[in-house]
Amino acid sequence: MTRTDPRPGCHDVMFQDALVLGDPAEVALEDYAAALTRSPRAEAYRGEGTAGVAGVHLCGAPAPPAAAARADIEAFARDLAARGGAAGLGWS
């Protein structure tokens, strides 16, 4: 299951704006989104024509993420980007 090959239980959490995140920050975002939504897998994806992360694809989620969870995932991504987008969870 991936964003390009979605299956039942796959959902996209799209961000208002693409955010520039480095690899460690993307991994932190994926881990956070998976844990928050109880999804076995989450994959950050880039927007077309941008270097920024446009959202997170959730695979195997038990239910579509609630509006509050979607907002929380985006807020977490924005916080990572505000820290420079290079670090994961605050340590490097």
Query: Is 63 among the domain residues?
Result: yes
pLDDT attached to residue 89: 60
Answer yes or no: is 75 within a domain: yes
Q: What is the DSSP string of 16-44?
A: EEEE---HHHHHHHHHHHHHHHT-SEEEE
Residue 7 has pLDDT above 80, yes or no: no
Report the share of the chain in percent with pLDDT over 70: 85
Cβ–Cβ under 8 Å, residues 2 and 34? no
User: Which among 80, 84, 62 has a CA at the least distance from the CA of 72?
Assistant: 80
Range of the domain at 49: 11-82
Q: How confident is the model at residue 72 (pLDDT cuts 50, 70, 90)?
A: very high
| Whether 24 contacts 81, CB under 8 Å | no
| Residue 91 resides in a domain | no
Split into its structural domains, the chain has a count of 1
Residue 1, pLDDT > 60, answer: no
> What are the pLDDT digits (tens) for 32-67?
999 999 999 999 998 787 779 999 999 998 899 999
User: Does 39 reside within a domain?
Assistant: yes
Whether residue 3 is contained in a domain is answered as: no
Alpha carbons 3 and 43: distance in angstroms, whole number: 8
H or E element, residue 72: helix 67-82
pTM assigned to the model:
0.86
